[in-house]
Structure 1
Amino acid sequence: MKINRRSFLASGLAVATGATLGPTKARAQEGRAEEVELATLLDLSKCIACGACVEACRETNGHKFPQPKKPFPKMYPAKVKAADWSDRQDVDDRLTPYNWLYIQTATGEYNGRPFELNIPRRCLHCQNPPCANLCPWGSASKDSRGIVSINDEICLGGSKCKDVCPWHIPERQTGVGLYLKLAPSFAGNGVMYKCDRCRDRVALGETPACIEACPEGVQTIGPRDEILAQARELARRTGGFIYGDTENGGTNTFYVSPVPFDVLDQAIETGPGKPHLASVGNPFEKEELLARAVYAAPVVGLMAGVLHLVRGATSEDDNE
């Protein structure tokens, strides 16, 4: 069998990532082998922008939100700026460390007819997430349920996850996290935050808060293969379009819209905290990025283990 460089690197990434897990975590993953990767389908024709999902997300996940200590340490070099949302926690028209879900509204014309569509935006929970594969500290990860999350106990706020995310989803809050105890003037300057798809609720067999609260049944959650089949059938039946099945190599969030997503992308406001809807290719088709992930994986695993130990030691000091 002929093995080209890309397939070699891809297999190397899988091996390297597994090698960094360590026996304890590896056994835990084996014990969860029966768990199914979940995905969500959002039928955009149903969303009325009532905001119930946004409010439910805030109420359910509020205990995870940052509580920064002020004044913030002075950072060196000075170009490293503080990211402080603690006095703007009520902002709900974009993604912030305190607002993990918001509604984008797209208005325009398609095929000679006006449209207005509301689009709940949050992390798409990629199948092969660059944020998890390229985080230098191993604080971002994807679990067996298909949930991509950031461990706020070891995240140093370096923003690599945001840089490599095609939609730049994670947001930073300064004045919280392990950096304050390690190198407050030189480390990453906070912690990165984003939707974790209510992973604590999902672990208990419950439904994510945004889905449960929606009065219009916009979202459906279930095994990924079933949800993708539903998304494709809905698109076929309605003449609609899908976003998320191939973007970034495939995600666990599927939008179905009666309007093409390139049209929607031109009709929405984009920028900081307001992700686009443009087409996104698979980043790991680029050999340079794939190789970087392969070669970094053992170091990332080691750093994550070290930071867990440091976190444990500093917690013990705090309790003394």
Structure 2
Amino acid sequence: MKISRRNFLKGSAMAGALTVLPKVDAHAAPAPESYATLIDLSKCDGCAGKDTPLCVAGCRSGRAQDFPEPIQDQVRDYWPQKKHEDWSNKRHVTDRFTPYNWLFVQQVQVGGQTLSIPRRCMHCDNPPCVKLCPFGINHKTPEGPVYIQENLCMGGAKCRNVCPWSVPQRQAGVGLYTYIQDYLPMGGGVMFKCDLCRKELVQGGTPHCISACPKDAMSIGSREAILARAEELKDEYDGDIYGMDENGGTSTIYVSPVAFSEIDAALQKAAAEQGTKKVVRLNKPENMLEKQKGLALLSLVAPVIGAVAAFGLAGRKTTDEEVQK
């Protein structure tokens, strides 16, 4: 079989590329000293009668100093796109994730009853937003919180793309991006999300949302204690648990008297009836690290397979020519 120099070099280069395959660990054990939070859906009523659920209000008031203040003449379209994300004039929005609203309460009708579901970052045990951030500024602390180093964030939104719940949200006109967008168009601002009030935790405090809950529907403690309590409540309610295994496991654990498969189906149905394109689901998402690892492997292996196939075809062509002679 005759192999051209070009095909040989191509095949060698692609084979060599396999040695730089991203080392993405899709299974990591959380630190023993880490916190977990428990959200008991049997207790949460969304603060009925209040304009804003108290957990949401507590988060917004307690973390107001950390919300973005964009420079308006730096709020520009993300080149080459003709759009940008600016929530600075929509700070009042409390029914979805925004750079100014890191927690919201989702309500859904299931089996004749209304369930209220506080939604915030799940603080995954092995977060894809941390592993796959191209700028390396997402972090998982030993205590459990996952946070974004906002002073270094470029707003590329990869963290949102790989999050099964689309938690991080982008605000234009802030951060390092404003200094480079005239010269190097990349990113688009800064990503913001719940960090479980990590500074308060380090100082022995409690996240604002948990302190504000009047129903004790949200609690925080050692991971071991929270998981044990979740199992107790599951047995007590003959209910269901969400968060222990989803996306490889999380530090946010929900317990419900209703199966989460039923809740997720109801969420999707309500979204379809309301014409809502996006809904924050309570499904069984695929592990994004496993998916990204597979895609990375495929992207590197495919050219190698192609090169090997080319070698094989080259050999077959030579054989055919010899037969013809």
TM-score (norm 1): 0.76
SS in 1 for 2:289: helix
Q: Quick one: structure 1 residues 239 and 180, their matched pair in 2 at CA, closer, same or farther if it must change by over 3 Å?
A: same
* CA distance in structure 1 between the partners assigned to 2:22 and 2:156 by the alignment: 28
Residue 282 of structure 1 corresponds to which residue in structure 2?
Answer: 287
Conserved 8 A contact 1:246-1:281: no
SS in 1 for 2:227: helix
Please show how residues 236-275 of structure 1 align to structure 2 within 5 Å: 236-268=235-267, 274-275=279-280
Deviation larger for 89-98 or 268-277 = 268-277
Q: Quick one: structure 1 residues 169 and 234, their matched pair in 2 at CA, closer, same or farther if it must change by over 3 Å?
A: same
- What is the Cα deviation at residue 77 of structure 1? 3.2
- What is the Cα deviation at residue 203 of structure 1? 1.2
The one-letter code of the counterpart of 2:255 is V
Which of the two has higher C-alpha Rg? 2
- What is the Cα deviation at residue 291 of structure 1? 6.2
* CA distance in structure 2 between the partners assigned to 1:47 and 1:154 by the alignment: 36
Conserved 8 A contact 1:42-1:218: yes
Q: Quick one: structure 1 residues 233 and 178, their matched pair in 2 at CA, closer, same or farther if it must change by over 3 Å?
A: same
Conserved 8 A contact 1:94-1:274: no
**Per-residue deviation, residues 171-229 of structure 1 (Å, max 9, x unmatched):** 10000010111224712111001101111111111010111111100011111121111
Q: Quick one: structure 1 residues 98 and 74, their matched pair in 2 at CA, closer, same or farther if it must change by over 3 Å?
A: closer
SS in 2 for 1:265: helix
Residue 309 of structure 2 corresponds to which residue in structure 1?
Answer: none
SS in 1 for 2:72: coil
Residue 210 of structure 1 corresponds to which residue in structure 2?
Answer: 209
Residue 22 of structure 1 corresponds to which residue in structure 2?
Answer: none
- What is the Cα deviation at residue 35 of structure 1? 7.7
Residue 140 of structure 1 corresponds to which residue in structure 2?
Answer: 138
In angstroms, what is the RMSD of aligned CA positions? 2.7
- What is the Cα deviation at residue 148 of structure 1? 0.3
- What is the Cα deviation at residue 289 of structure 1? 5.5
* CA distance in structure 1 between the partners assigned to 2:137 and 2:295 by the alignment: 19
Q: Residue 122 of structure 1: which of 117, 120, 123 is its match? A: 120
Q: Quick one: structure 1 residues 10 and 82, their matched pair in 2 at CA, closer, same or farther if it must change by over 3 Å?
A: closer
TM-score (norm 2): 0.75
* CA distance in structure 2 between the partners assigned to 1:168 and 1:220 by the alignment: 23
* CA distance in structure 1 between the partners assigned to 2:119 and 2:102 by the alignment: 8
The one-letter code of the counterpart of 2:132 is L
Q: Residue 171 of structure 1: which of 150, 169, 187 is its match? A: 169
Q: Quick one: structure 1 residues 37 and 273, their matched pair in 2 at CA, closer, same or farther if it must change by over 3 Å?
A: farther
Q: Quick one: structure 1 residues 83 and 206, their matched pair in 2 at CA, closer, same or farther if it must change by over 3 Å?
A: same
* CA distance in structure 1 between the partners assigned to 2:62 and 2:122 by the alignment: 19
Residue 305 of structure 1 corresponds to which residue in structure 2?
Answer: none
- What is the Cα deviation at residue 142 of structure 1? 0.5
Residue 97 of structure 1 corresponds to which residue in structure 2?
Answer: 99
Conserved 8 A contact 1:171-1:273: no
| Residue ranges of structure 2 left out of the alignment (5+ in a row) | 1-19, 48-52, 299-325
Q: Residue 159 of structure 1: which of 143, 157, 160 is its match? A: 157
* CA distance in structure 2 between the partners assigned to 1:222 and 1:76 by the alignment: 41
SS in 2 for 1:202: helix
* CA distance in structure 1 between the partners assigned to 2:242 and 2:75 by the alignment: 42
